[in-house]
Amino acid sequence: MDTLILSRMQFGANISFHILFPTITIALGWVLLFFRLRLAGTGDQKWADAYRFWVKVFALSFAMGVVSGITMSFQFGTNWPGFMESVGNIAGPLLAYEVMTAFFLEAVFLGIMLFGMSKVPGWLHTLSTFLVAFGTTMSAFWILVLNSWMHTPAGFEMRDGVAFATDWWAIIFNPSMPYRLVHMLLASGLTVAFLLTGLSAFRWLIGDRSNGVQATLKTGVIIGAVLIPLQILAGDFHGLNTLEHQPQKVAAMEGNWDTGPNTPLVLFGIPDEQTRSTDFEISIPNGASLILKHSADGVVPGLNDFIAEDGTVQHPPVAPVFFSFRIMVATGMAMLLLSWTAVVFMARKRRGIEGLPRPLLWAMVPMAVSGWIATLAGWYTTEIGRQPWLVQGVLTTEAAVADVPAPMVASTLIVYLSIYAALLAAYVGVLFYLARKATMGEPAGPTFHVAQEAQVTVAAE
């Protein structure tokens, strides 16, 4: 294998590992703030239990996100020097703002949020929780601005192969940014919703009947049930936006080879780039035309339009995009089914968690990682779907790669992969260990200074 594919694998492995943790911390920060405010407002200790358990998950996830994020910031230089040399004038300021407005904020206030409970007044602790949540969201904002710009670049001009910014407003609010940001934030919300649900269901199943578990399970189910339809809607809008700006990606997602009207929606199949056809196809007539063009005879772009006259392929590799997209959609459907079924059971006779049948609770446990699967599949769809471009229409991936010997990339890749595998196993293991430990009953920590805090909140209002 050559340096290019090895570097892509290395960066892909790194960024896949990385995104698992911000996906949790972005939304979990806000959920923790919610627990914190409910505690301050009601004084009910179940919110303290919920906070105390989930802040541990947050701390662990945050550390995993930080260390894998540092790795990425270096790999821009070690593996992709061409990226910054060519579009550094755009990417640079966006990354700099991410570090300055987000990283320091979250890192500094995380210390106070985690360990400062008894050292600072209640309002400062709540404020720190808010600033950490705000910081993670700011970080998501800046990085999605940059990522979106790589898909739909705007507000720049090229001089001697180097991009120069002409309009920062256009760069930040580039055509795909709002869609991608909303899609990702909702993905984060869903990931946390199903993680809350899954781990709480696990605790319930092994005998934890505490109010804290009931509260988190309910919170998780409700967040999931509310966000999943919004996500499906947001995904649809995002898809239409992609159709407008990156039709070749949509063609690969749909597995559609020839441009034309009445294009069927391929539910399953195996795309073959050699024969340029899809085998074992199961499809709904006119489906793709209906979804993408909202009319049965709408013209949908096909992959064969993206072959240059000299035969070079200018569309992404079809199979990975095609399958990732289906995995994402299928996971989303499973989320919809699970969360709405749960809501129906909980609402029936107002029985709450008690009304959930055991098989449903068991189904929730593996679904704890459904957010991860959908998020990764979604990112693979959009990122592989941008190939062969690194920055659409501006810079190819091949032109950006470092001139580093392949064995060097291969050897570090193996080390990274083994460490990531070990850490992932340790992480999931520790989550369930913490859940089990919480169920068995931890030595109860000192209770929160609720009364004092409630007063502070009232005074602040």
Site for other proteins in 262-291 (CB under 8 A): none
Side-chain half-sphere CA neighbours of 345 within 13 A = 17
- Alpha carbon distance 148, 45 (integer Å): 43
For residue 283, the cross-strand partners are 266
**Residue in 109, 194, 345, 372 binding other proteins, rule: CB under 8 A:** 109
Q: Which H or E element spans position 443?
A: none
Report the SS3 class of residue 252. helix
Comparing CB distances to other proteins, the nearer of 115 and 362 is 115
**Residue in 4, 9, 95, 343 binding other proteins, rule: CB under 8 A:** 95
Instruction: Give the list of residues 6+ apart from residue 222 with CB closer than 8 angstroms, or none.
Output: 343
- Alpha carbon distance 90, 392 (integer Å): 14
Question: Alpha carbon 3 to chain centroid distance?
Answer: 28
Instruction: Give the list of residues 6+ apart from residue 438 with CB closer than 8 angstroms, or none.
Output: 53, 203, 208
Q: Which of 126, 108, 116 is nearest to 66 (CA)?
A: 108
Q: Which H or E element spans position 357?
A: none
Comparing CB distances to other proteins, the nearer of 66 and 215 is 66
Residues in 388-407 that interact with other proteins by CB under 8 A: 402-404
* Cis before 301? omega within 30: no
Q: Please say whether the beta carbons of 40 and 154 come within 8 A.
A: no
CB of 157 to other proteins, least distance (A): 11
Comparing CB distances to other proteins, the nearer of 240 and 406 is 406
- Residue 115 in contact with other proteins, rule: CB under 8 A: yes
Comparing CB distances to other proteins, the nearer of 308 and 444 is 444
Task: Supply φ then ψ for residue 300, to 5 degrees.
Answer: -110, 135
Comparing CB distances to other proteins, the nearer of 97 and 340 is 97
Q: Please say whether the beta carbons of 352 and 327 come within 8 A.
A: no
Report the SS3 class of residue 269. strand
**Residue in 16, 45, 89, 277 binding other proteins, rule: CB under 8 A:** 89
- Alpha carbon distance 271, 294 (integer Å): 25
Instruction: Give the list of residues 6+ apart from residue 428 with CB closer than 8 angstroms, or none.
Output: 369
Q: Which H or E element spans position 102?
A: none
CB of 148 to other proteins, least distance (A): 18
**Residue in 4, 9, 15, 120 binding other proteins, rule: CB under 8 A:** 120
Residues in 25-84 that interact with other proteins by CB under 8 A: 52, 55-56, 59-60, 62-64, 66-71, 73-74, 76-78, 81-82, 84
- Residue 118 in contact with other proteins, rule: CB under 8 A: yes
Residues in 134-163 that interact with other proteins by CB under 8 A: 162
CB of 207 to other proteins, least distance (A): 19
Comparing CB distances to other proteins, the nearer of 357 and 445 is 445
Residues in 320-359 that interact with other proteins by CB under 8 A: none
**Residue in 3, 324, 448, 450 binding other proteins, rule: CB under 8 A:** 448
CB of 279 to other proteins, least distance (A): 41
Give 358-391 as a DSSP string: HHHHHHHTGGGGHHHHHHHHHHHHHHHTTTTEEE
Comparing CB distances to other proteins, the nearer of 333 and 419 is 419
Q: Which of 220, 226, 281 is nearest to 57 (CA)?
A: 220
Binding mask 427-446 for other proteins (x = CB under 8 A): --xx--xx----------xx
Comparing CB distances to other proteins, the nearer of 34 and 97 is 97
**Residue in 88, 155, 178, 388 binding other proteins, rule: CB under 8 A:** 88
Comparing CB distances to other proteins, the nearer of 80 and 380 is 80
CB of 319 to other proteins, least distance (A): 31
**Residue in 416, 435, 438, 456 binding other proteins, rule: CB under 8 A:** 416
Q: How many CB atoms lie within 10 A of CB 211?
A: 13
Q: How many CB atoms lie within 10 A of CB 174?
A: 23
- Residue 237 in contact with other proteins, rule: CB under 8 A: no
- Alpha carbon distance 325, 346 (integer Å): 32
- Residue 232 in contact with other proteins, rule: CB under 8 A: no
CB of 461 to other proteins, least distance (A): 24
* Count of residues near other proteins by CB under 8 A: 71
Residues in 165-224 that interact with other proteins by CB under 8 A: 165, 168
Comparing CB distances to other proteins, the nearer of 56 and 276 is 56
Comparing CB distances to other proteins, the nearer of 53 and 325 is 53
CB of 147 to other proteins, least distance (A): 16
Q: Please say whether the beta carbons of 128 and 106 come within 8 A.
A: no
